[in-house]
Amino acid sequence: MSTFDSKDVYTRVTERIISDLERGIRTWLKPWSAEHAAGRITRPLRHNSTPYRGMNILLLWGDAMARGYAAPIWMTYNQAQELKGQVRKGEHGSLVVYANSITKTETNEQGEDTERELPFMKGYTVFNVEQVEGLPAHYYAQPENPLPLSERIENADRFMTNTAATIHHGGSSAFYAPSRDTIQLPPFEAFKDKESYYSTALHELTHWTKHERRLDRDFGRQKFGDTGYAREELVAELGAAFLCADLGITPEIREDHAAYLVHWLDVLKEDKRAIFDAAAHAQRAADFLNSLQPQQQESAAA
């Protein structure tokens, strides 16, 4: 199993995202192109069906599309062997990352021992099940058909309602107003289709989580289009993509966000950790919105 030092991980991943953005491609929207054969929108899954989170979603979505994998399941070389499978000769794995922290005890100038949390990140290699032979049959099962669109839309509608966010309709712009703590959306009929409406709403709901009474997320925005603004928009883009995957909704590529590509490129070129930070914030936002759903609250209580 290959590993990579954290500097190499940050550099490799950021350069890949930058390369996509310079070609006008948003890596996090790739799974919904016409080439995706699975017919189902989902987060990438570990060998035990646990969904990947944060940055690893982007990494594996990107590789699945680049290599044409329809299966959403990934595993390490050793995990494949434990399942009596074998990675085919000549196959190249995909990078995923593991982040954590260690506690280090240090002695200060006064001779007192203090503990300090030191974050670390390592990269390792996984393979899609389409690269592995001899696994149990269920790993090769054809993907299930998604729920009918009408049911997916109903689920998305309930999801939004359960957040209790204040949403107004009218005008021609979609935005979150922090001063009023409200979301503004154009009328439902103004969107080209139902999925476009809900994917846009989920983008604004991700912004809604930044309020000080919720996740208290602040990148120091001073004006429209500055670095702080671009970072928050990137979080909302990723958060909406994660939520769309959970709900089976096709994300909307909004024309009014095309201008942000340049700003995102500036942010990523300046800070190699920015995309990791944005993905982590997006995951926290998705987790928060999911926690407002009745089934999640019931599970927590149990």
Give the Cα separation of 78 and 19 in Å (integer): 31
Give the Cα separation of 23 and 30 in Å (integer): 13
Give the rounded distance of the alpha carbon of 74 from its chain centre.
17
CA angle 278, 98, 81 (to 5 degrees): 135
Q: Do residues 52 and 134 lie in contact, with contact meaning Cβ atoms separated by under 8 Å?
A: no
Q: How many CB atoms lie within 10 A of CB 190?
A: 14
pTM beyond 0.75: the answer is: yes
Task: Provide the residue count of the chain.
Answer: 302
Q: Do residues 72 and 140 lie in contact, with contact meaning Cβ atoms separated by under 8 Å?
A: no
pLDDT along the chain (302 residues), means of 10: 60 90 80 43 88 94 86 95 97 92 79 78 93 95 75 93 97 95 96 90 97 96 84 95 89 70 92 95 97 76 50
What would the two tokens of residue 132 be?
């592995």
Contacts of 4 (CB under 8 A, 6+ apart): 12, 95, 122, 123, 124
Q: What is the DSSP pairing of strand 113-128 with strand 94-107? A: antiparallel
Give the Cα separation of 7 and 272 in Å (integer): 9
> For position 157, what pLDDT does the model report?
95
Q: How many CB atoms lie within 10 A of CB 294?
A: 9
What would the two tokens of residue 10 be?
């940050």
Q: At what angle do helices 274-291 and 55-67 cross, to 10 degrees?
A: 110
> For position 66, what pLDDT does the model report?
84
Block residue for tokens 């503990």? 115
Q: How many CB atoms lie within 10 A of CB 283?
A: 19
> For position 110, what pLDDT does the model report?
78
> For position 168, what pLDDT does the model report?
97
> For position 41, what pLDDT does the model report?
61
Return the beta strands (E) in 63-198 as ranges. 74-75, 86-87, 94-107, 113-128, 132-133, 167-169, 175-177, 182-185
